[in-house]
Amino acid sequence: MVNEFGGQVPKTMEEMLSIPGAARKTANVVLGTGYGIASGIVVDTHVSRISQRLDLTKNTDPVKIEQDLVKIIPQDRWILFSHQMILHGRALCMARAPECIRCDLNSLCYAPDKRAQTAP
């Protein structure tokens, strides 16, 4: 980064992806949260899982999920959407035991692993 970008974190997706070890997820986090640039949607494990549960995508590959999401989420919401999905995944829509009974999206959700009740 020092040699290629003068010690500055780059501000474009193309430049970010030229950094060894930086893929789209990292690039979207840095550009979105660091610079406020909506270059795409962060797709981590939470965003992947919830997007599938809410039928926003049929894909499992993060790049393809992102391609599906950017078609249906307005660009001015891309940065916030990622944060909201990640928070939702941590708070309620966990991988193994989602707390569907407490979820505001319950009536919209047809996930096969939806749970009718929380564990006792």
Residues that bind ligand SF4 (CB under 6 A): 50, 53-54, 92-93, 98-100, 103, 105-106, 109, 111, 114
Min dist. Cβ of residue 18 to ligand SF4 (A): 36
Min dist. Cβ of residue 113 to ligand SF4 (A): 7
Decide whether 11 or 83 has the Cβ nearer to ligand SF4. 83
Decide whether 31 or 85 has the Cβ nearer to ligand SF4. 85
Min dist. Cβ of residue 109 to ligand SF4 (A): 3
Distance of alpha carbon 114 from alpha carbon 66, whole angstroms = 23
Q: Known catalytic residue: 113?
A: no
Q: Known catalytic residue: 25?
A: yes
